[in-house]
A and B are shown apart, each in its own frame.
Chain A
């Protein structure tokens, strides 16, 4: 029998699989499958999402057949199966559930498009369907593959280089950029973002990104929303390949749900990052049990993430989480010392406006610049406070310690995320309001610089 391990690509769900079953009274049935998961060398699992004919058939006659496609060659494989059991909890169920719910949340289908069980089947035989190969002669010439190697060079040398760059980063700000730069230069991940816990409960905010036309700093994701929100909620990595195909499948379910009187959310959550990512990998950044944030890597090319990538990045995520938390703790220690300028920070350009107006909306806790949204929540409170102090007393140097002591900001006594809020504020200003700059002048201190006239207006 062809080893199941050699069919890794087939288990990514890029091409629909087909499940053939037969009732006890001899009537065959075919159904489309959203996913076939590898369990071990003798078993696969199929997602059980709706009570349907296939489910009834295998309950009375456990014999089944699955037709799987290799997405690299379009070679078809026929797997003869015997239904063994349905799992409704445990690691297999959880891993399948998270992937399905991440897709569901993109389509407003949370609660409708969900996993009821992981149906485990014993694999009795695996045969290539010789006359069904898509790529001319290639599949036949190549034969079944050995376990597919990772496309990502997770070598000791690469990991050492990443480690060195992390250790060299003098501030949290530099560290975040160093992580994303390294993911691209060493590992080839061109589109990535880091989201850290927001000051609002169960929300994450993008604090650093790489490879996108719009930086997206400050964009928010709620727990449970999309792949990033699901990673945060479950604190487990999620890998999705073939997003387009799976969203087409979920859209088909959404239409059926509407016809059946169920109502998918009207509001579809926009995908953060690439407009049409083909593969996404979300990794929780955990220190012990605390969620620091989420690292999301995606691609719109034919490259696909493999299980090995997920495993390596999960380990790497733990390391990055510790590095980020250490940087946060170090900056809180507020050892005032000079720092080198942050590379890559934009300097004020000729496009600086001679006069800008900032409006603070107290009830919404947000600031608009010349009528355009700039920032909200704690970063907005901080900006408003320092701009007013500069206007009132000419003060331009501030320390994190003084901000912590200011009760009007309402920072919690423990783990206030002030440093990450300041990074977010500085990056939002660089993108949306270069006339105002927050320049780190030492560990735990910064300087407010203005170009041109800044008018402040307060609204209820």
Chain B
């Protein structure tokens, strides 16, 4: 269900966090309620602060889209490895399209920021050199609910 209030769900500081370059995991499910997960490499918040687009490597996309085209429920977890600040956005799939050439620099910037995060916790750059993230597929969804996901008491509660 969309939030009752007319306030867009994604605040400016949250949008900044989501686009920083984080660990992004996308969850979907199939007919049998079997959940599935995939990595997204970047996220962009729409100007309306209600829709979000995540960018997945094209080879990771077929099972994700197979699920989303049947069942639009989607959950996306954002986690900043250096502090494990995390939040989860849940909503409904809207559309998908190939990533545009103009978006590539934004995706690369976020991947680079994520690599820097991992370096700070002891995962050297050589360990992430083999990541494949382009060409991308952009998956857009409407954000309906936001949850605090930083580990600890209160993880999973709606964000205030």
Contact = CB atoms under 8 A, between A and B. Distances in A.
Interface in B124-147: 126-132, 147
Contacts of B153: 50, 112, 253, 256-257, 260, 262
Interface in A394-418: none
A28 B152 contact: no
B28 interface: yes
Contacts of A251: 83-84
29 contacts: A16-B81, A18-B37, A20-B25, A22-B34, A22-B35, A28-B75, A30-B25, A30-B75, A31-B149, A32-B149, A34-B151, A54-B156, A61-B33, A63-B34, A67-B37, A78-B37, A112-B152, A130-B59, A131-B59, A132-B132, A135-B130, A244-B122, A251-B83, A252-B83, A252-B84, A252-B85, A253-B153, A255-B150, A255-B152
A64 B32 CA distance: 11
Given A29-B27, A63-B35, A134 B129 contact: yes
A52 B35 contact: no
A190 interface: no
A245 B36 contact: no
A133 interface: yes
Contacts, number: 161
Contacts of B36: 20, 65
Given A21-B35, A32-B79, A139-B130, 7 more contacts: A16-B79, A18-B37, A29-B27, A30-B88, A134-B129, A248-B82, A252-B83
A63 B33 contact: yes
Interface of B: 23, 25-29, 32-37, 39, 57, 59-60, 71, 73-77, 79, 81-86, 88, 90, 121-123, 126-132, 147, 149-156
A376 interface: no
Nearest to B90: A27
A61 B31 CA distance: 13
A136 interface: yes
Contacts of A90: none
A131 B132 contact: yes
Given A28-B73, A131-B132, A134-B127, A260 B154 contact: yes
Interface in A70-91: 71, 73-74, 76, 78, 80
A249 B86 CA distance: 11
A269 B129 CA distance: 37
